[in-house]
Amino acid sequence: MKKKFLVNAFILTVTSLILRTIGITFRVYVSNKIGPEGLGLYQLIFSVYTFALTFATSGISLAVTRLVAEEKAIGSHSTVKSVLRKIFALSIMLSLIACFALFFFSDFFGVKFLGDYRTILGLKLLSFSLLFIGISSCLRGYFNALREVIKPASAQILEQISEIIIVVNIINHFLPKGLEYAVAAIILGTTVSEIISCMYMFLLYCLEERKYKSNPYKSTNLKIIRNNGTKMIRRHGVLKRILSISLPIAVSSYIRSALKTIENILIPTGLKKYGTTNKFALEQYGMLTGMALPILNFPSVFLSSYSALLVPEIAEANTKGHKKRVNYTISRVFQMTSLLSILITGVIMLFSAELGMAIYNNQEISTMLRMLAPLIPIMYLDTVADGMLKGLDQQMSTMTINIIDSILRVAMIYYLIPAKGVTGLIIVIIVSNIMDSLLSIGRLLKVTGLRFRIIDWAVKPFLAVTASCIMVSFLFKFFINMEYFSIGMNIAIGALLVSLIYFILLLSLDCLKEEDILWFINIFRNSKQLPTNTWHKWGQV
């Protein structure tokens, strides 16, 4: 694994950690301003907006990343320029279509689909952001392919800070006008911040082009092959190659996003059929999707960065025919993802009540966290498996899996939520995530020929984290008086103790070995790659 990969992953991890910390703090601020009902209304608006956004951008960023990474590997700057021109044109066309559709049909979407006229203003405001997000998506994929992740990372920070500054300064002027306008103020901040971020990234792109003129890509003079060994022609049919990557992902995303929109409409409707009022239904919906799930997803910052970088890394290695390197990378990612996600599960389950109170001052969140926390390993493994499948040119597989998952979710929501309420929604989330993860991981293992080491990567870590949580609970109950500390400090001390005991137990159970620690140390060195015999060993896992 290249040192630059680690550096980029570190940059993305730090950036994501900053963004998610700011984001969850901002979400607390927003929830205090508009309440759970306002969050539910906000989520409803975004269910339709997400479909428009998917239409405008789906598959674009990945296509740029994959193709630019491949062309950069053989030093073909002219083809890189051709790829960018065509993808920019495609993205702008799709973004404008989505923009006009969302703006002019916002009344129809708000009243007929969402069943709440208060969503109309928010939809109109969001439509103006689509063109700029489409352009940003292209630029983000380009910089990821060049491994210049600091540039899109800084753009994301600028976007987040801009949004917060705008919302904090205008929301109090909109609150007296009602919940509709308060939510619109938040959405206005989102739209303007997207425009600022896009302009900043375009400026960085122009500077990158000037930099290239003095330092062009160097050809590696390597024979570029497909998986079946036939020579790959890369200088012709750029549009065909773009569509071969982006179209399966786009179709999958369109179908899945449409089903997701239907799903988000059915949830409040189903809760009302269960016997709740419209206000309570929106509150429950906002509490689960706007409060509980962000806490579960927050720790994935440590994995999502690597997942994003795996696409160009695996695509380039796969293009050059380095199968052992690909398998080695996948094995390591599976191992580290599993070990880390199981630790996170234990910490969240142990401190679910404290997390709910510390972040939202809401005790009800703890029940949702305890029920959903066991899904964390499955969710995180599915995320990295999806990224690695895309890097291996398996877009059709991910498309099929995503569509199956979405159809199953809609069917379960239709029948379960009117019968069981919020409990039914939690059942849907659990079943859906398990099935989606099993299909994605199964496909990845089949394509690579690897096997998942369930004893070392799942069973033993589960026993280790269970023992760690029991020990820490015992320490807190009988030996450590935490009354003098704040809730946040209790969580921090407890999480640190659980992590320390967990790490010791992993070493004792041989889940982590000397070679794992040496591998981690080795990635900080300047060597371009790990020893081939190590790849070979992991390639046979």
Q: What is the DSSP string of 215-255?
A: SPPPP--PPPB-TTSPBPP-SS-HHHHHHHHHHHHHHHHHH
Of 442, 59, 79, nearest to 232 by C-alpha is 79
Could you give the CA distance from residue 133 to residue 54 in angstroms, rounded to a whole number?
Answer: 11
Per-residue pLDDT, 213? 59
Q: Report residue 231: phi and psi, to 5°.
A: -70, 140
Q: 168 by DSSP, 3-state: which?
A: helix
The answer to whether 287 touches 372, Cβ cutoff 8 Å, is: no
Of 294, 306, 374, nearest to 337 by C-alpha is 306
The answer to whether 97 touches 174, Cβ cutoff 8 Å, is: no
Could you give the CA distance from residue 137 to residue 43 in angstroms, rounded to a whole number?
Answer: 22
Could you give the CA distance from residue 437 to residue 451 in angstroms, rounded to a whole number?
Answer: 15
Please give the single-letter amino acid code of residue 208.
Answer: E
Could you give the CA distance from residue 142 to residue 68 in angstroms, rounded to a whole number?
Answer: 7
- 153's enclosing H/E stretch is helix 150-174
Per-residue pLDDT, 504? 92
Of 442, 453, 299, 282, nearest to 373 by C-alpha is 299
Buried b (16+ CB within 10 A) or exposed e, 204-232: bbeeeeeeeeeeebeeeeeebeeeeeeee
β-strand partners of 231: 225
* HEC per residue, 13-70: HHHHHHHHHHHHHHHHHHHHHHHHHHHHHHHHHHHHHHHHHHHHHCCHHHHHHHHHHH
Return per-residue pLDDT of the chain as tens, 541 residues.
455 555 666 666 677 777 777 877 888 888 888 888 888 888 889 888 988 888 888 777 777 877 777 776 665 566 677 778 888 888 899 899 999 999 999 999 888 888 888 999 999 999 999 999 999 988 888 887 877 778 888 898 899 899 999 999 999 999 999 899 999 999 999 999 999 999 999 999 888 777 765 555 554 444 444 444 434 444 446 677 777 777 777 776 778 778 877 887 788 788 888 877 767 777 777 788 777 888 888 777 666 666 666 666 676 677 677 778 778 878 888 888 899 899 999 999 999 888 888 887 777 788 888 888 999 999 889 888 887 887 777 777 887 888 888 889 899 999 998 988 888 888 998 999 999 999 999 998 888 888 888 898 899 999 999 999 999 998 887 776 666 677 878 888 889 999 999 999 999 988 887 777 776 666 545 433 333 333 333 333 3
Contacts of 512-517 with CB under 8 Å at 24 or more apart are: 512/339, 516/335
Judge residue 391's burial from the number of C-beta atoms within 10 Å of its C-beta, 0-12 exposed, 13-18 middle, 19 or more buried: buried
Chain mean pLDDT for the chain: 80
The answer to whether 106 touches 167, Cβ cutoff 8 Å, is: no
